[in-house]
């Protein structure tokens, strides 16, 4: 009966020709997944689902509860643009303007590094230490999207933060993220190349940073997504990748209270260099390294020795 109706109907969908099948959610998901896989995405199905949910302005789960819905022309037009950009390796987070980190939503675009799950290890350690203190004052250097200071603030309501970045657009994004997460009252943002604009004499309980750490020669070997789309400024750590660590580890002592903590994220192969940099200052005790969820060395923590008077 249905078939007879279809055959007599003038609808372009009545033939079995694939080109005239309606573009349902299911068909778009399958087609796009194959397309993105061909263009080198590591997670083509997930990318496709996130993009289609964005184009349809719905939650991902709604794609599956409306699997046979025909996607509107307007949504398909938006999806086509997103897929084209993703096929050109643009990170999904930039395409949808959002990334979840530590259970919070962060706006991101090409001016900031996309927050990485690895960085949650640093935040866990930071929150753990901050919660032991009464009213801690914490400095986050190279804040980027603000993900470290903001997610720590959300979990330590007694803590106050200063967050710096050398990039004006990055700082504007961090500010916007603090506001959207309703944490602006805990965080002060400062345009500054590391410690440069911190007033002398300011002392923190904890200084934290996930600075740029890719050695110059390795930038060209990074995945296309990162190399072509994420900000160089947020990646490049100089010739050996350690420029920011040298600067931060040498200068942090001046801005830390006695027994204050310096906590830095790094790339696993830099562990020995970082231990040596901490040791060379002679200013830290209790230096320890924490592993990420994959078991790789990821965070280094040192405690400032009290100055002997």
SS3 93: helix
Counting contacts by CB under 6 A, is residue 115 touching ligand GLN?
yes
Q: Is 91 annotated as a binding residue?
A: no
- Dihedral (Cα; 66, 70, 74, 80), 10-degree rounding: 90
Query: Does residue 119 interact with ligand GLN by CB under 6 A?
Result: yes
Among 113, 206, 248, 277, binds ligand GLN (CB under 6 A): 113
215 annotated to a ligand binding site: no
Nearer to ligand GLN (CB atom), residue 70 or residue 231: 231
Among 78, 79, 142, 150, binds ligand GLN (CB under 6 A): 142
- 212 known member of a binding site: yes
The CA-based dihedral angle spanning residues 99, 301, 284, 161, taken in that order and rounded to the nearest 10 degrees:
40
Q: How far apart are CA 80 and CA 87, in angstroms?
A: 10
H helices within the chain, ranges in order?
2-8, 25-38, 44-55, 61-65, 73-87, 92-96, 119-130, 147-155, 168-180, 216-219, 224-229, 232-235, 243-251, 271-281
- Chain residue at closest Cβ approach to ligand GLN: 144
Q: Smallest distance, Å, CB 121 to ligand GLN?
A: 11
Closest approach, Cβ 165 to ligand GLN, in A, equals 8
Going by C-alpha positions, the residue among 57, 72, 56 that lies closest to residue 22 is 72
Residue numbers 148-177 binding ligand GLN by CB under 6 A: 148
Q: How far, rounded to the nearest angstrom, does the alpha carbon of residue 186 sit from its chain's CA centroid? A: 21
211 binds ligand GLN (CB under 6 A): yes
Binding residues for substrate: 210-213
- Which chain residues interact with ligand GLN by CB under 6 A? 113, 115, 119, 142-145, 147-148, 210-212, 234
């Amino acid at each position: 009966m249905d078939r007879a109706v279809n055959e007599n109907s003038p609808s372009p969908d009545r033939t079995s020709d694939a080109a005239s099948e309606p573009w349902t959610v299911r068909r778009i998901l399958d087609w796009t997944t194959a397309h993105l896989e061909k263009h080198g995405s590591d997670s083509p199905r997930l990318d496709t689902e996130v993009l289609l949910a964005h184009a349809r302005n719905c939650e991902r789960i709604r794609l599956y509860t409306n699997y046979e819905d025909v996607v509107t022309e307007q949504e398909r037009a938006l999806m086509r643009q997103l897929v084209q950009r993703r096929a050109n390796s643009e990170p999904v987070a930039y395409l949808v303007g959002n990334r979840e980190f530590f259970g919070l939503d962060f706006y991101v675009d090409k001016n900031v590094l996309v927050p990485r799950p690895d960085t949650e290890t640093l935040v866990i350690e930071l929150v753990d230490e901050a919660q032991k203190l009464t009213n801690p004052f914490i400095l986050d250097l190279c804040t980027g999207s603000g993900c470290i200071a903001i997610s720590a603030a959300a979990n330590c309501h007694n803590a106050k933060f200063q967050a710096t970045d050398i990039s004006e657009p990055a700082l504007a994004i961090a500010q916007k993220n603090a506001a959207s997460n309703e944490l602006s009252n805990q965080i002060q943002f400062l345009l500054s190349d590391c410690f440069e604009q911190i007033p002398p004499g300011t002392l923190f309980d904890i200084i934290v940073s996930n600075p740029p750490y890719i050695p110059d020669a390795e930038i060209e070997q990074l995945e296309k997504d990162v190399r072509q789309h994420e900000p160089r400024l947020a990646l490049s750590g100089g010739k050996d990748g350690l420029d920011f660590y040298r600067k931060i580890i040498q200068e942090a002592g001046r801005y830390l209270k006695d027994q204050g903590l310096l906590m830095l994220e790094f790339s696993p192969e830099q562990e020995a260099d970082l231990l040596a940099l901490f040791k060379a200052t002679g200013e830290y005790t209790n230096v320890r390294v924490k592993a990420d969820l994959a078991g790789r060395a990821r965070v280094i923590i040192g405690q400032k020795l009290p100055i002997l008077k």
